[in-house]
Chains A and B, each alone.
Chain A
Amino acid sequence: QQKVQQSPESLSVPEGGMASLNCTSSDRNFQYFWWYRQHSGEGPKALMSIFSDGDKKEGRFTAHLNKASLHVSLHIRDSQPSDSALYFCAARDYAQGLTFGLGTRVSVFP
C-alpha cells in the first residue's frame, strides 16, 4: 500500500485558473513534506517544502499542511501552460530518503 497517496490522478485546468492537488500520508512518522514538479524528460524539481501546520505561500503556489490528518495540499493560482507537468507529493521522517506519491498530472489548456 502506498504510504503517500495523491489525488486526483490527473487534472485539466484553464489558463489563468486554479489547480488544487491533494496528498494524504498513512505513516505518522513522516514529519516533513515537499511538492516536486517534473516536466517530461527531466528530473523532479522541488517546488516547495512545508514542515508546520498551516499555509505556506511562494508566488503563485500555496501549500497547506494538517499534521493531525496527515493531509497536504497544493494550490496553483493563475495557472500557466508551463505549469503543465507531473506533480509529486513527497514525505520524509528523520532519516533516509523521500517517499513519493504516484503523482498528479496537470494539464493547462488555453
Chain B
Amino acid sequence: EAAVTQSPRNKVAVTGGKVTLSCNQTNNHNNMYWYRQDTGHGLRLIHYSYGAGSTEKGDIPDGYKASRPSQENFSLILELATPSQTSVYFCASGDAGGGQDTQYFGPGTRLLVL
C-alpha cells in the first residue's frame, strides 16, 4: 500500500499569516496532488505536480502556491491565509499512467484560519 504522510495534522492560523502544509510520499510516484475537502463541495483539486520542479494549477488555485523540491515532497503554501481557506487538505500521489493511475491519499491536515 502506498504511503503518503502529511504534516501538521492540525493547524490553527491567523488571518493574513503564512501557512505551509507538507506532504511526503515514499512510493517514488511521479505525480502528486493537493485537494481540499469541504461540506457541499466534495474534494477539489488545488495544485498538482508531474515531478520535481514542476507545479501546475488545478481547479481552484487562487490564494495557494505549491512547491515540489524533490520526488518525495510536495508543499502547499498559503501566503496570506483567509478564513475561507479553513478546510481539510489532502495530499495524494500517483504514478504516471496516461490518466489511469490510482491516487493514494494521505490522512489529511485540518486547517482553521481565525
Contacts and interface: CB of A to CB of B under 8 A. Distances in A.
Interface in B60-114: 90, 92, 98-100, 102-108
Nearest to B100: A32
A49 B43 contact: no
Contact of A101 (B42, B45, B59, B108): B42
A41 to B, nearest CB: 8
Interface centre among A31, A44, A90 (most CB of B within 10 A): A44
B89 to A, nearest CB: 10
Interface centre among A32, A43, A99 (most CB of B within 10 A): A43
Nearest to B45: A97
A95 B97 CA distance: 10
Contacts of A92: 99
A46 B99 contact: no
A43 B106 contact: yes
B103 A49 contact: no
Interface residues of B, number: 25
Contacts of A94: 98-99
Contacts of B41: 102
Contacts, number: 58
Given A42-B107, A43-B90, A103-B42, A97 B102 contact: no
Contact of A102 (B40, B59, B100, B105): B40
Interface string B24-44: 000000000101000011111
A97 B99 contact: no
Contacts of B59: 99
A70 to B, nearest CB: 16
A61 interface: no
Contacts of B105: 43-45
Given A44-B43, A98-B45, A100-B42, A31 B102 contact: no
Interface centre among A46, A51, A94, A103 (most CB of B within 10 A): A46
A55 interface: no
Q: Lowest 9 A-B CB distances belong to which pairs?
A: A43-B105, A97-B45, A100-B42, A100-B43, A94-B99, A102-B42, A97-B33, A46-B102, A44-B105
